[in-house]
Amino acid sequence: MKKNSKLKLLPASLLVVVVGSLLNQLFGSVGGNFSEMTFLGSSHLVNLPDALITGDYKNLLVTPDFSMEAFSNKEVYVYAVTLALVASIETLLCLEATDKLDPDKNISPTNKELKAQGIGNFLSGLLGGLPITMVIVRSSANINANAKSPMSAFYHGIFLLLGVFLFPSVLEYIPLSSLAAILIVIGFKLVKIKNVISKFKTDWENGLVIVVTIIAVLLTDLLSGVGIGFVLAMFFLLRKNYELAFISHIDTENNKAVISFAQIVSFLNKGALMQTLQDIPNGSTVKISAKKCHTMSNEIQEVITDFRDISSKKNNIDLELIGFDKFLSVDETSSNKRFFLNATTILILNRYQNEIKSASNKDTLSIYNQMIKDIFFINNLFYDDYKSFRNSFYYKGTILTKNTNQLKKEFSKFHKTVVDNAISNDELYQEWMSLKNDDEVRKIIASTNNQIIDFNNENKLEKDFFKFWEIIHKSVSDISDFSTKEFND
């Protein structure tokens, strides 16, 4: 059946209003029991102020009462807050619905809409007018009329103003049921039943929030209904945060455990965390990472501190804490004698390292001294200029003699220090490198990309050396927490 293009110019909502008004008048004119059953009285029709009907427009303007008695009335503030919340919520809901109805799928600026509504309500209140809100009926009428610009809302307001002043008595014939029918149709366009059913299947919590909010709005009012839905949504959100605050994996066969904290860990997770830590077998190797966490309650910090200082020592647990330097004190060692250092803090030196440091302080040419400072301060070496090191190593005014044997010896010391100090983060669970005995070093393998440095090839040595150095630099610069393991004498 071919659609009539002229009929498309007639808005469906206008047709519903006209037909509903005519039918109500027709039912009222019949008389008898039929009229009593079908005719709608004034309480079910649009009701406008009497001043508009009589033309006494002066009584329409009511100035606000600025007396002290009005300001001391608590009900004024209750109604003011209620109206502000209802108007804002209704506008935001209608704005989102309008964007969904828009065939061009434009996104309306919510902040601009609320600011304009606030200014309009302020001026309307000064003139004795009612609060202004966005209404989906008017917006849908504009969309159905192929409106493309915000001027459609302005024209809509002008037509409403003219209609109210020119023929207010005609508007009072409109049944509220006709307007309700329009709202119901618009609501069905916005919410598809199959989508609600699908939401229940994939995410029953969100589906339940939608249904409860709808029922609450129908049984109470907009503000109360949205408030009930908001409380229910917050309940599910807190419960989900309680369940997903940390992820744990305990391997009882290999005595290993890994616990990773989410962005927020609150006191609500204390019980679950304590139970997880209690389930870790004695003698296990445990890694607890808070690298992604930015908010941790004091209760959780106390649990970790007690586990570090008491439980791990008592149960012979090898504990590694990663990313806790911003939550826990850094001067206390854990059960495996590890302590945490900020990226800008140099390593606390053990006896072996002190020997190297002492030699460096005596102006002994030491590759180790240069590299360890560059790794932990990451500000002294520019790798783009490595070609200038072709025939010599230059560090802070000191020429480091290019000697393969010395380089091999010092570099192997550095490597041993790196491995023994277990510089790592929660994403690197294996050592960076592997090497043979210090006296038999032939190659160092960087696990990042298996880059081989061969000390027997002098022509390639320096180039590979700096490549390896750059790999270490980039890897360490991404690590926020460093740890060092004390040597046994």
pLDDT in tens, 124-166: 888 878 888 887 777 877 887 788 887 888 888 898 889 888 8
Q: Read off φ and ψ for residue 181, nearest 5 degrees.
A: -65, -40
128 and 69 in a single domain? The answer is yes
Say if 4 falls within a structural domain.
no
Specify the pTM: 0.45
Structural domain containing residue 320? 246-336
Residue 158 in tokens: 């002008």
Alpha helix (H) residue ranges in 261-402: 270-278, 298-306, 312-314, 351-361, 367-377
380 and 432 in a single domain? The answer is yes
Is the model's pLDDT at 174 over the cut of 70?
A: yes
Per-residue pLDDT at 184: 84
140 and 68 in a single domain? The answer is yes
228 and 252 in a single domain? The answer is no
- 449 or 47, higher pLDDT: 47
pLDDT in tens, 374-404: 433 322 222 333 333 333 333 433 334 445 5
The span from the CA of 450 to the CA of 445, in Å, is 6
158 and 222 in a single domain? The answer is no
Q: Is 129 exposed, middle or buried (0-12, 13-18, 19+ CB in 10 A)?
A: middle
Say if 201 falls within a structural domain.
no
Say if 437 falls within a structural domain.
yes
67 and 164 in a single domain? The answer is yes
Is the model's pLDDT at 179 over the cut of 50?
A: yes
Query: Where does a domain end: 305, 336, 367?
Result: 336
Is the model's pLDDT at 346 over the cut of 70?
A: no
Mean pLDDT of the chain: 68
Residue among 201, 218, 200 nearest 209 (CA): 200
366 and 447 in a single domain? The answer is yes
Say if 18 falls within a structural domain.
no
Per-residue pLDDT at 6: 62
Domain count, the chain: 4
Residue 476 in tokens: 């360490």
- 3 or 417, higher pLDDT: 3
Query: Where does a domain end: 150, 171, 192?
Result: 171
pLDDT in tens, 77-130: 888 888 888 888 888 888 888 888 888 877 788 888 889 889 988 888 888 788
The span from the CA of 123 to the CA of 135, in Å, is 19
297 and 385 in a single domain? The answer is no
Per-residue pLDDT at 423: 38
The span from the CA of 334 to the CA of 287, in Å, is 12
309 and 421 in a single domain? The answer is no
**Mean pLDDT in residue range 460-469:** 54
Say if 33 falls within a structural domain.
no
Give CA separation, 200 vs 123, 207, 225, 227, 294, in Å: 44, 5, 20, 21, 33
Is the model's pLDDT at 477 over the cut of 50?
A: no
Per-residue pLDDT at 409: 52
Say if 191 falls within a structural domain.
no
Q: What is the CATH number of the domain that holds 331?
A: 3.30.750.24
The span from the CA of 451 to the CA of 472, in Å, is 11
Query: Where does a domain end: 156, 171, 186?
Result: 171
305 and 390 in a single domain? The answer is no
Say if 326 falls within a structural domain.
yes
- 58 or 296, higher pLDDT: 296
102 and 164 in a single domain? The answer is yes
- 445 or 24, higher pLDDT: 24
**Mean pLDDT in residue range 401-415:** 50
| CA terminus-to-terminus distance, the chain | 96
Is the model's pLDDT at 290 over the cut of 70?
A: yes
Per-residue pLDDT at 286: 92
Say if 183 falls within a structural domain.
no
Nearest-10 Cα torsion for 15, 16, 20, 23:
50
327 and 361 in a single domain? The answer is no
Is the model's pLDDT at 50 over the cut of 50?
A: yes
Per-residue pLDDT at 210: 82
